[in-house]
Amino acid sequence: MNIVNKVTLKFLLKNKTRTIVTIIGVILSAAMITAVTTLIVTMQSYAINLLIAEDGDWHAALLGVNPEDAVTLAEMDEIDVAAFVKGEGYSCLEGGKNVDKPYLYVVAYDEKAFETLAVNLILGRLPENENEIVISKHILTNAGINLNVGDVLNIEIGDRVTENGLILDQSQPFMTRERDGISEEVKVRHIKQYTVVGLCSRPSYTLEGYTAPGYTVITKLNFQQPDETGTVDVYIKAKNPRKIYELVNKLEDYAGNGYRYNSELLRFMGISNNNSFNKVLYSLGAILIVLIIVGSISLIYNSFSISVSERKRQFGLLSGAGATSRQLRNSVFFEALVIAGAGIPLGILSGVFGIFVTLRFVGGIITGMIASDINVPLVLRVSPASIAVTAVVALVTILISAYIPARRSSKISAMDAIRQTQDIRLTGRQVKTLGITRKLFGIEGDLALKNMKRNRKRYRSTVISLFISIVLFVSASAYSMYLKTGVESVYEDEKYDISYYLTKETLQKGSFITDPTQLLNKISSLDTVDEAALVAMIQGEAGFPVEKLNESYYREQVTEDTASLPETLYVMLEIYAVDEVTFENYVKTLNLDMMNFIDPDSPAGIIVDRQRYYDAVSKKFRSTTIIKDKSMEELSFDYWHEGNKKGSVSLKIAGFADEAPFGIKDYAYRNTIMLIISDEVRDRIFPGVIVSENMYISAAGDPVKAEEDIEIILEESGYDISYLFNIAEIIKGNRNVLTVISVFAYGFIVLISLITIANVFNTISTNVNLRRREFAMLKSVGMTNGSFNKMINYESIFYGLKALLYGIPVSILVTWFNYRGISEGVDLPFKLPVRGILVSVASVFVVVFASMMYSMKKIRKENILDALKNENL
């Protein structure tokens, strides 16, 4: 080690506070980058493992492939695995409780399909031949059919066929004449005997959708003797997953019934053909990394810039003793490497440990928010590649931060550095202040302003530190705000935990022991129930004059090739009638007068004009409104019942709202508005119209216990409990998504805040330390402690105001970039992080004053003569 580097080490040891603060800045920087990359890798790995456990590891499926073509596909070089699945047919399931799922659906898997499509056994084993089957647990829990391993079933297998000869599959719900106007039956092709050898989890919703009419049972496919009249579905894994879309486009001619992708798995593997999703992902990732790097560079650059300022006299002496410019420059880089050597390893370890601790606290929430029977552990995953990238990025950040100070150090002449004549080269004109300054702030304020003009470099470095701190904090707040808002837009929280469906067929038969309102009152009185509502919905349509509609909506509805622009556009209506208690509570929540709704001669309702939906054209989640004129007092509309127009009605509009009552979502689908009325109004304006009703219940703590209590009441009252659904676990998942996002968002803000505070503290404390002789001189000529404190306070205020003057506008600009990034995938209004801005305004002055007070505490105790002799060596 040469003498220059030895002097550098001595200097670092002497200035322990600044060295420690700089190392802390490097630790925070490396920790944040490590935390981000480690979290991404961990969550990506967990999501991929979960999806593979639930759906399998296939990339795409070609549906309806001829057996000969299937063999050809399996032999292609681009395909790693080709798994064959054949739908054998449907069989009627006797005694099932779910009337919309009356079948067994027999499907045959070949050997590879059992591995690729993730059959998760609970009991028993997989079928070994075409006479054995594995049944789904869903048959036991949803259909209420008690089947056991070892049972032998004689199954009549056939096709679902409508009365007009249309053959149906699993993608089409069960059809009834009462509901769909057409009926279906199973045309039996053959009878087969199967032995139940295993029980498995419910197949994924990709393979058996929510509306699928058949419970899946799986047998072994004997593909050595394929059925020449049938087809198979081929689930493929590509050798290069990133080329899966090109591969499917090349092979789609083989698929007689189309194709599909394992989209969720591909998306989490970083492979997506959704440009909007990619734009959001990349833009948010870029903004996040930029924020971290800018914060790191600002802190580390200031540290090295201050270090060079402190060492100017030292550099002059070394230069006078024969040190070359290159040696002086290298000494700064050596200092950077020493700082990096101490900070980067600690930062990487801190980042990994921080994510480990975070996952220990929120890991249970994350896994609990996944509504799955399959237990996939959330394990910390540390990627060597991401650690290496973190180390390189942190090191490059440090070297970039040290580059400009290093160049500056090599250009200082020996005499100027020893005499320190470059620090202050000013004329009286340059430090002149306005006369009003002394009148407003006194001599202390005038001196504070002169000091800032005299020490321009130090003043500028402090303001820049504060400016960057403001921009980083507000940007982090905006980033977190838009991220949370975007997630909330996609994962809309339901207002209830349990729902019960009262069919109109049962209502018409009059078989209820109690009517729905009496049933609602019974359920509402349960201790385990917090709130309950009865909701009925009727479809309608209303015509609106063009001038009452938003221009954006009008432009979407009227295309350019329209021959003549219509003066009236028709909008779909969802008319929701709620029970009287729920309606009264809703009116109170909106601060409306209930007297507007009780006049029997003038029935009134409330319009909710909010639409939220995924737009397949723009490939983004849209959030829109339709009506521009919110002053309308009456609405005329047509309504339908059972698909037929029943009549026209006029209704008084007593208000507009952004939220719906309990039990109803706060938004509708595209081209639809909601009209909220009471049950009393429904009986008056829709006489004789019998519609299905839904009861929505919010549990008072334990949804499972609430469900059990409700089942007892339903059975005692003669109701069918198969229409009772507890969605608390699914809703809990959505709510936990928001919780996890909040945890990481606030954690990100805290880490950014620590970097900015360290930056400001380092800059101010060092600048104050460099001004010890100046402060001692002021005291020596008679400045009192009170005047001295006033001067320092004024300086702090001027620093803060100047930083805010530049910081707030730039923060708003960065907020706009955050908004543009998230709006690529979610339609959101632009809004400022007002809370973040207010906190940053207050924090600037708190941090500045605190840093000043800490720095001045030591100087106040210092002897004036000792300070005057100080030469910042």
Asked whether residue 615 is domain-assigned, the answer is yes
**Bridging pattern class, strands 214-220 and 103-109:** parallel
User: Using one digit for the tens of pLDDT, what is the confidence trace for 772-826?
Assistant: 677 777 777 677 777 777 777 777 788 788 888 888 898 888 888 878 777 777 7
Residues 180 and 66 in one domain: yes
Residues 637 and 589 in one domain: yes
Helices marked H in 718-784: 728-770, 772-780
Asked whether residue 247 is domain-assigned, the answer is no
Residue 152: what pLDDT? 92
Q: How confident is the model at residue 487 (pLDDT cuts 50, 70, 90)?
A: low
- What b-and-e string marks burial along 707-739, b requiring 16 or more CB atoms within 10 Å of the CB? bebbeebbeeeebbebbbebbbeebbbbbbbee
User: Using one digit for the tens of pLDDT, what is the confidence trace for 152-163?
Assistant: 999 999 999 998
Listed range (156-160, 177-181, 551-555, 589-593) with the worst mean pLDDT:
177-181
Residue 490: what pLDDT? 60
Using the predicted structure, report yes or no on whether residue 227 has a pLDDT greater than 60.
Answer: no
User: Using one digit for the tens of pLDDT, what is the confidence trace for 840-873?
Assistant: 888 888 888 887 777 677 666 666 655 555 554 4
Residues 38 and 126 in one domain: no
Residue 97: what pLDDT? 76
Rounded distance, CA 72 to CA 250, Å? 14
Residues 401 and 432 in one domain: no
Span 158-170, average pLDDT: 89
> Cβ–Cβ contacts within 10 Å for residue 102, how many?
20
Q: How confident is the model at residue 766 (pLDDT cuts 50, 70, 90)?
A: low
Listed range (267-276, 307-316, 461-470, 628-637) with the worst mean pLDDT:
307-316
Rounded distance, CA 256 to CA 40, Å? 39
Asked whether residue 253 is domain-assigned, the answer is no
Q: Which domain holds residue 163?
A: 61-241
3-state secondary structure of 502: strand
Residue 274: what pLDDT? 61
Asked whether residue 434 is domain-assigned, the answer is yes
Asked whether residue 315 is domain-assigned, the answer is yes
User: Using one digit for the tens of pLDDT, what is the confidence trace for 490-521?
Assistant: 655 577 888 888 765 554 444 444 578 888 88
Residues 471 and 532 in one domain: no
Q: At what angle do helices 834-860 and 785-822 cross, to 10 degrees?
A: 150
| Percent of the chain predicted with pLDDT > 90 | 15
Q: What is the DSSP string of 687-724?
A: TT----EEEEEEESS-HHHHHHHHHHHHHHHT--GGGE
| Helix, strand and coil percent figures for the chain, each rounded to 5 | 55, 20, 25
- Higher model confidence: residue 489 or residue 277? 489
Span 241-262, average pLDDT: 89
Residues 344 and 456 in one domain: no
Residue 790: what pLDDT? 79
Q: Which of 420, 443, 477 is the last residue of a domain?
A: 420
User: Using one digit for the tens of pLDDT, what is the confidence trace for 701-721?
Assistant: 788 888 889 888 888 877 777
Helices marked H in 771-833: 772-780, 785-822
Q: How confident is the model at residue 124 (pLDDT cuts 50, 70, 90)?
A: very high
Spatial contact of 768 and 859, defined as CB atoms under 8 Å apart? yes
Residues 406 and 550 in one domain: no
Residues 503 and 614 in one domain: yes
> Cβ–Cβ contacts within 10 Å for residue 106, how many?
22
Rounded distance, CA 102 to CA 95, Å? 9
Residue 787: what pLDDT? 79
Asked whether residue 18 is domain-assigned, the answer is yes
Look up residue 537 and give its two tokens. Answer: 């919905």
Asked whether residue 257 is domain-assigned, the answer is no
How many domains is the chain partitioned into structurally? 4
User: Using one digit for the tens of pLDDT, what is the confidence trace for 652-680?
Assistant: 999 899 889 998 988 888 889 999 999 88
Residues 96 and 27 in one domain: no
CA 546, 548, 551, 552 dihedral sign is: negative
Residues 689 and 797 in one domain: no
Residues 79 and 184 in one domain: yes
Residues 527 and 552 in one domain: yes
Q: Average model confidence (pLDDT) for the chain?
A: 78
Closest CA to 632 of 607, 664, 662, 601: 607
Q: Which of 691, 726, 761 is the last residue of a domain?
A: 726
Asked whether residue 252 is domain-assigned, the answer is no
Q: Which of 420, 454, 470 is the last residue of a domain?
A: 420
Rounded distance, CA 684 to CA 303, Å? 76
Gyration radius of the chain over CA positions: 36
